[in-house]
Each structure stands twice: as structure tokens, then as C-alpha cells.
Amino acid sequence: MRIYDIQGAVHLSPQRDNAVAGVPGVATAITSNSFYFQDPVGDANSAISDAVLVFTGGEPIRRDGAPVAVGDVVEVAGTVTEFEPGGDETNLPTTEIVIGSDGSTCLIMAKPLNEPR
């Protein structure tokens, strides 16, 4: 499963409410309770997003206990949801992957992209 498979070509995710696992990507932005990650290759279809928000519920932590950092190559497992900002049904939903609060489903796979391999 890739990020673009989760995003799909329509507004709501074709994977909505489904569990996904082994989704690879690169962390591109970090917040206090989530991070964005993007498929490093993409599907070459400009109509489909190659990035998605991962909601962690707390500081995004790698399996080794270190915080997720921009450039980390990660693999994510969780449940795909459609979040309505502010709980307002008039707002457009945002596709996200919700992972366990302990962060154990966010696994570091490789060195950050900015480090030599």
C-alpha cells in the first residue's frame, strides 16, 4: 500500500476506515501531535496527492524512542480516517492515518535522506 493508494483520485479515501500497514514515506513536516509524510517516488499522477497526515495523538516518536524528524524514512501502520477540522460538517475532510498513541506503529526504516547511504 502506498500513500497515493490511500489518497485515491476522489475526495474521500478509498481506504476510509480501513487498517493499513507497511506504508512507506519520508517525513516532511512535524507538529506536536502529527507529521506529514510523502511517497519519495509518487505515482506521476498530478490529480492524486502523494502525501498524507499521520495523527499520532502526541509527539511523533520513532520505535527507537527518538522523535520523528523531517527527512526520516518511515513506515506507518494505522487506520485511515477522514478528519473534519473543528468537527464542522461544512468543512472539507482531510484524509489522515491515525496510529497508536505509543507511536509503536511508526517505524524508522532507514537513515534520513540528507545523510549519505
Q: Where are the beta strands (DSSP E) in 1-117?
A: 19-30, 34-38, 51-55, 73-83, 94-98, 106-110
∠ CA(8), CA(53), CA(70), 5° rounding? Answer: 125
Distance CA 100, CA 77 (A): 9
pLDDT band at 106 (very low <50, low <70, confident <90, very high): low
pLDDT at 104: 47
In this model, does residue 31 exceed pLDDT 80? yes
| Residue pLDDT, tens place only, 35-54 | 999 998 888 888 788 889 99
CATH class of 3-110: mainly beta
Question: Which residues does residue 82 pair with via DSSP β-bridges, in sequence order?
Answer: 95
In 3-state terms, what secondary structure has residue 85? Answer: helix
Q: What is the mean pLDDT of the chain?
A: 82
| Residue pLDDT, tens place only, 57-87 | 888 888 788 889 999 988 888 889 888 877 6
